[in-house]
Every structure is written in C-alpha cells, then in structure tokens.
Copies of this chain bind each other. A is one copy, B any other.
Amino acid sequence: MIKARITVTLKAGVLDPQGKAIEGGLSALGFSGVESVRQGKIFDMEVEGDDKKAAQENLESMCAKLLANTVIEDYHVEIV
C-alpha cells in the first residue's frame, strides 16, 4: 500500500474570499500582524500496490480529472 498527500492550492492571482474572511475573523479575535491567508485543500490517499512511480502518475491523473480545477488551482502529489 502506498500513502500519498495531495495538496491543492489556488493559483497566484486568483481571488480567495474564504482566505479574506479568515483574515477578518482573526483580526476580530484580536490577532494582529496577519498579512495574508490563502486556503487550500489536502487529500490523504491510500492506494493499492508498491509501484511508487505508477502511483504518482495515477494520482496526478486523479488530480487533473477530479480533485483540482486546473483553471484556477495547482496540485502537488507527494508520496509519503
């Protein structure tokens, strides 16, 4: 079994209203000095097999087809 962590983040320049809301929330709670918050997603995956290279390719294909919106998001697959 292979474990992997997929990270999906917004591309630079894409507005992140959720991040802005978190900035506001932190400020309202009294946390100062926060300049920027950008939210992203992770997927902790377990896949069958032992071939890390094949798993990496398979997971990248999953990202491109389902897990990430490649118009506005970048993805990164890390076998752990």
What is the CB-to-nearest-CB distance from A80 to chain B, in angstroms, rounded to a whole number? 12
What is the CB-to-nearest-CB distance from A31 to chain B, in angstroms, rounded to a whole number? 6
Cβ contacts under 8 Å, A65 to chain B: 29
Count residues of chain A with CB under 8 A from any CB of chain B: 32
Asked whether A42 lies within 8 Å of B1 as measured between CB atoms, the reply is no
- Bound-state CA distance A1–B34 (Å) is 10
Cβ contacts under 8 Å, A25 to chain B: 66
Asked whether B40 lies within 8 Å of A41 as measured between CB atoms, the reply is yes
Asked whether A62 lies within 8 Å of B9 as measured between CB atoms, the reply is no
User: What 9 A-B pairs are tightest by C-beta distance, nearest first?
Assistant: A33-B48, A36-B46, A35-B46, A40-B42, A38-B44, A33-B47, A34-B47, A37-B45, A31-B62
